[in-house]
Amino acid sequence: MKDLQQKVAYLQGLTKGMELDTKEGKIIGEILETMEELVEYVRFLREEQTDLEEYMESIDSDLADLEDEIYDFDDDDEDFVEVTCPECGEVVCFEAAVLYDDDLMEVACPVCDTVVFINGDDEDFDEDFDEDDEE
């Protein structure tokens, strides 16, 4: 870019030194002024292009982060449990961690609000298991 600007400045210096007062000289002077304006405009466009590229990279990065947050099913399918609602047939997904949570938790169908899973009901199973071990 500086090469182009330097060349235009050099040509302008040459024409001033030649003192061209003819019609052709005036035309050459106008052409050089137009070239100088074009060089400035190209510099402006390059700066704007650089700003746009940085902005687009920022948007692209933000979008990738957002996609990771929303579509975070890339890990393992084992991290989620699917249950079919007995009322409406909707497939309900929830994190497998709910299965092992100490607090009593219910998972409801988002369509019809039917409870499709309750954790923490293992106490009866544990008691039955302990009775079998004693025999």
In angstroms, rounded to a whole number, what is the distance separating the alpha carbons of residues 115 and 100?
18
Q: Which helix (H) or strand (E) holds 23?
A: helix 23-70
Residue 101 token pair: 């949570």
pTM for the predicted model, two decimal places: 0.43
Residue 14 token pair: 């040459």
pLDDT tens readout for residues 48-91: 999 999 999 999 999 998 988 888 655 554 688 888 999 998 99
3-class DSSP state of 93:
strand
